[in-house]
Amino acid sequence: MEENILEIFSSIQGEGKYIGARQAFIRFADCNIRCRFCDTRFQPADCCQIETLPGTGVYEKLPNPLSVKEVAKRIRAFVKPVQHHSISLTGGEPLLHARFIRALASEVKAPLFLETNGTLYEEMERLLDVVTYVSMDIKLPSSTGKPLWEAHERFLCLLRGHDAYVKIVVAENTEEEELQQAVQLIANTIPQMLLVLQPVTPFGGLRAPSAGKLLRLQAQAARTLPEVRVIPQAHRMMGLL
């Protein structure tokens, strides 16, 4: 089995509940939605940039698609000399590559950490037994241009009993009504779920929320959910991938 992969590298998790954890990252090509703030380069995916040794920043290029065995071999070369918390499956949208992920799970020992836009619930259901951690985004209509509530609700229902949290990227134009709809969706499905509000890294004309706006949004969400944290993208502050 083969897939188009953009990057394989070792770094720290820069977002959410497991911020600071050392991870091996596999960045898959393609996504099923288009967020206004997305900075992932999807094209061309003709080759994959692979860090040769963990943390060195030295890369080589391999032509796509890559086989499961090749990717597993690269990941094993990372986790052998340096202890890694988990393998981050990121993108793009990794669940577009569910069959590849299932095959990869049987080739590597480290736990799998899925970073997903929280819409492909059928694929998520098929991978629940091989993914240890789930970082699920809820995408607000102001970010995507269209509501995704039904898909998010079906996805969220699958995460009961899983080590998971929800992340919402917020910008200066985030509306309180849409955030409240997301918060209510979480509260109705998994009331104890951790919610991370992530201020957008300015991109594509979107402005980062002011400090006052961030605090208002956090206070609003915390009226309904027990744990709401504001966490920016830390890897960018340190110049890491």
SS3 labels along the chain: CEECEEEEEEEECCCCCCCCCEEEEEEECCCCCCCCCCCCCCCCCCEEEEECCCCCCCEEEEECCEEHHHHHHHHHHHHCCCCCCEEEEECCCHHHHHHHHHHHHCCCCCCEEEEECCCCHHHHHHHCCCCCEEEEECCCHHHHCCCCHHHHHHHHHCCCCCEEEEEEEECCCCCHHHHHHHHHHHHHHCCCCCEEEEECCCECCECCCCHHHHHHHHHHHHCCCCCEEECCCHHHHCCCC
Q: Interface with ligand SF4 includes 3 (CB under 6 A)?
A: no
19 binds ligand SF4 (CB under 6 A): no
Q: Does 124 bind ligand SF4 (CB under 6 A)?
A: no
Q: Which two tokens stand for residue 106?
A: 């049987």
Q: State in angstroms the smallest separation of the CB of 7 from ligand SF4.
A: 13
Smallest separation, CB 114 to ligand SF4 (Å): 13
| 33 contributes a contact to ligand SF4 by CB under 6 A | yes
Is residue 174 a contact point for ligand SF4 (CB under 6 A)?
no
* Under rule CB under 6 A, residue 35 binds ligand SF4: yes
Query: Is the CB of 120 or the CB of 190 nearer to ligand SF4?
Result: 120
38-57 residues in contact with ligand SF4 (CB under 6 A) are: 38, 40
Q: Which is nearer to ligand SF4, 91 or 199 (CB)?
A: 91
When binding is defined by CB under 6 A, the residue of 1, 2, 34, 56 that contacts ligand SF4 is 34
Within 81-120, the residues that bind ligand SF4 by CB under 6 A are 91-93, 117
Stretch that binds ligand SF4, among 35-43, 68-76, 156-164, 179-187 (CB under 6 A): 35-43
Applying CB under 6 A, the residues found at the interface with ligand SF4 are 31, 33-35, 38, 40, 91-93, 117
